[in-house]
Every structure is written in C-alpha cells, then in structure tokens.
Amino acid sequence: MKLGPKKGWNSIVPLRLRGSSATRFCMFPKVKSAEFGRGNAPVYLNVYDLTPANGYVYWAGLGIFHTGVEVYGIEYAFGAHDFASSGVFEVEPRQCPGFRFRKSILMGTTCLDPIEVREFMERQSANYNGDTYHLIVKNCNHFCEDICYKLTGKPIPKWVNRLARIGN
C-alpha cells in the first residue's frame, strides 16, 4: 500500500545538513523570517483539540491535545507514520490539518536566527522517526516539550500532556 502526502503537507527529498544526510522532513516552502531580528524571535506552543470532548473536560485540566511549535512563522510538529524516517513536519501556523486549533501560548524567545532554527530542527528531527511515535511515551507533546525547552529554557504547561503522564 502506497501512502501519499497528507493534505496540507508537502514532502521534500531528504535535506543535507553539513554534508551528512538528514532524515525525511516535510515542509511548506515559504518562510516568513523578516519580521523578527536575532535574539527576539518569539516561540509559541500551538495547541489543538483532538476530540470535541475537550470542550467539556478542558476546564477540569484534562483533554487530548496535539501541539506544534511555532517560530519564525513556521509551525513544527511530530506525527506517526510507518517508516523509519522523520515524523517531524512543518505547517502553516495554527492550521494543522485534521485538528481544531484551541490556543497559542507564548513560551519565550529564541536567540537563534531563521537559518539556525532550521538547522536545529533538522538535527532534532532525526530523533523523532514516525515509526517511533507512541501515544503515551513519545508523542507530539513530548516533541514540543523537548523543542520548547531547548529553544527557550521553559517546559510546556503540564495540562497539555497530562493524559499521557497518567497513562504511563
């Protein structure tokens, strides 16, 4: 069975990072980087509802959420697929296909410029293969926790991945 690209994603050939091959990375080609200067680029955690039931349980500190990290006008997220290649992909901010956008949380700023952020994400994507995705121990929220902490020094809010922690 051949899998085609998901609606809203563009898959590109493996990228090169300092002469070594990086894993597959999905992206939109446009980069909006002229708006921010070095050292003050905001990093946002974009939170999506996976189920309409979140509207009822969110206020109790529960819910099932998908997240992505937005920096320089690009949102990076992690998803599952059946291949031993990166599950990290890029989408237009707050537009992740298949999910309902809930809110954007300012996590802080990064001192990296757009090119350094891109190189950083290429390196990090090698640690997040689509076939290693697991709802409890390695999901999109774990990816965002790792990326946000490395870019800003701040963890994501605990409520975002609470159900995975309870399940573990």
Active-site residue among 26, 140, 144, 148?
140
**66 catalytic residue (yes or no):** yes
Share of the chain above pLDDT 90, in %: 62
Q: Angle 115-121-124 (CA atoms, 0-180°, nearest 5)?
A: 145
Query: Could you give the CA distance from residue 43 to residue 46 in angstroms, rounded to a whole number?
Result: 10
How do residues 84-116 score in pLDDT, each as one tens digit? 999 999 999 999 999 999 999 999 999 999 999
User: Residue 54: what pLDDT?
Assistant: 84
Confidence of residue 59 (pLDDT cuts 50, 70, 90): confident
pTM score of the predicted model: 0.76
**The CATH classification of domain 39-167, taken from the options 2.40.50.140, 1.10.3210.10, 3.20.20.140, 3.90.1720.30:** 3.90.1720.30
- On average, the pLDDT of the chain sits at 81
* Strands (E) located in 18-168: 20-21, 41-49, 65-71, 74-78, 88-91, 100-110
What are the sequence ranges of the domains in the chain?
A: 39-167
Active-site residue among 26, 66, 142, 148?
66
How do residues 6-54 score in pLDDT, each as one tens digit? 444 433 223 333 333 333 344 433 344 445 555 689 999 999 998 888 8
**111 catalytic residue (yes or no):** no
Task: For residue 63, give both structure tokens.
Answer: 């819910």
